[in-house]
Amino acid sequence: MRAHSIGIFVLGLFLHAQYAAAMDGAVAVSSISASSTLQGAPARSATAPQPAASGGHRAVFEGEQASRDVRHIADWVVDSGDNRGLPFVIIDKTDAKIFVFDAGGWIVGAAPALLGLARGDDTVPDIGKRELSTIGPEERTTQAGRFVAQLGMSFRGEDVVWVDYDSGLSLHRVITSNPRDRRVERLATPTPADNRISYGCINVPAAFYNKVINPIFTGTSGIVYVLPETRPVRQVFGSYDVETRHRYVQAPENATDEGASATTQ
């Protein structure tokens, strides 16, 4: 999120044009998971993991703890190719956690995240053009959805990942300019209960951003999936259960109605 002066707004229009053209062409450190060590993530194949015994491809979490919805979306992305050969990120608002995968579906890292203060899956129209001081607490949501994201510059002159430029939604290093927010401390707590503090942007530990986020988005776009917290995840993404779908493909006469519908979503 950002505040606009007249001069900054002009700069914003210029950056926005660059961003649009590119799209057309295409915690504390102790809380960072072992798969995202500060020496950098291990190199992976760009191809999807081998199909599971039950059929279909799955994302590889390498022991990382994740909710059922996160695993559902990650597996669906890998099996369906919804990421279009790009690295992808899943934001779990309920657990206040971010998961980063390479293009093949291998996890690169995971970390806690700070999110919008207000619960909700939608954003206010034109909120990205407003002064921060005019944005009420109930408007400070992190909207759910699928976004094509890319590295860019914030209006503070810092590199960020623009998730949705028009609404001012970005993924960036944790903001520490207001000590009263205690953002670094919030990232370090074991519960997600205190991770709702931002105006909507996604804050992650600085070390995680530098060693995982920045490298994975350097030279490429990526897909960011922000999971909903007020609607079913399948409703937002049109996703299917990988195992159910492939069970239907292999033996349609024995599959459930859910399996049949999964093949057409």
Determine the pLDDT at residue 156: 85
User: Which of 19 and 233 is assigned the larger pLDDT?
Assistant: 233
Determine the pLDDT at residue 200: 94
Question: Which range (28-37, 208-217, 241-250) has the least confidence?
Answer: 28-37
According to DSSP, residue 34 is labeled: G
The counts of H helices and E strands in the chain are 8, 10
Alpha-carbon span 48 to 126, nearest angstrom: 38
Q: What is the mean pLDDT of residues 177-202?
A: 96
Residue with tokens 């057409």: 264
* 3-class secondary structure, 3: coil
Q: Over pLDDT 70: what percentage of the chain?
A: 72
How distant, in Å, are the alpha carbons of 100, 137, 233, 234 from that of 112?
Answer: 12, 22, 20, 24
Question: Which range (41-50, 133-142, 181-190) has the least confidence?
Answer: 41-50
State the Cα angle at 203 between 199 and 209, rounded to 5°: 155
Determine the pLDDT at residue 161: 98
Question: Which range (18-32, 37-51, 198-212) has the least confidence?
Answer: 18-32
Alpha-carbon span 263 to 11, nearest angstrom: 46
Query: Are 168 and 134 contacting, i.e. CB atoms less than 8 angstroms apart?
Result: no
Determine the pLDDT at residue 8: 38
Q: What is the mean pLDDT of residues 205-223?
A: 98
Band of residue 125 on the pLDDT scale cut at 50, 70, 90: confident
CATH class of 6-262: mainly beta
φ/ψ of residue 42, rounded to 5: -70, 150
Determine the pLDDT at residue 52: 60
Query: Are 42 and 215 contacting, i.e. CB atoms less than 8 angstroms apart?
Result: no
DSSP result, 194-224: G-EEESS-EEE-HHHIIIIIHHHHTTS-EEE
Query: Are 1 and 199 contacting, i.e. CB atoms less than 8 angstroms apart?
Result: yes
- Whether 257 shows a pLDDT value over 60: the answer reads no
Alpha-carbon span 113 to 202, nearest angstrom: 6
Q: What is the mean pLDDT of residues 195-199?
A: 95
If DSSP states are collapsed to H, E and C, what string results for 36-89?
A: HCCCCCCCCCCCCCCCCCCCCCCCECCCCCCCHHHHHHHHHHHHHCCCCCCCEE
pTM for this structure? 0.78
Amino acid at 161: V
Alpha-carbon span 237 to 227, nearest angstrom: 9
Determine the pLDDT at residue 147: 98
Listed by start position, the domains of the chain span: 6-262
* 3-class secondary structure, 254: helix
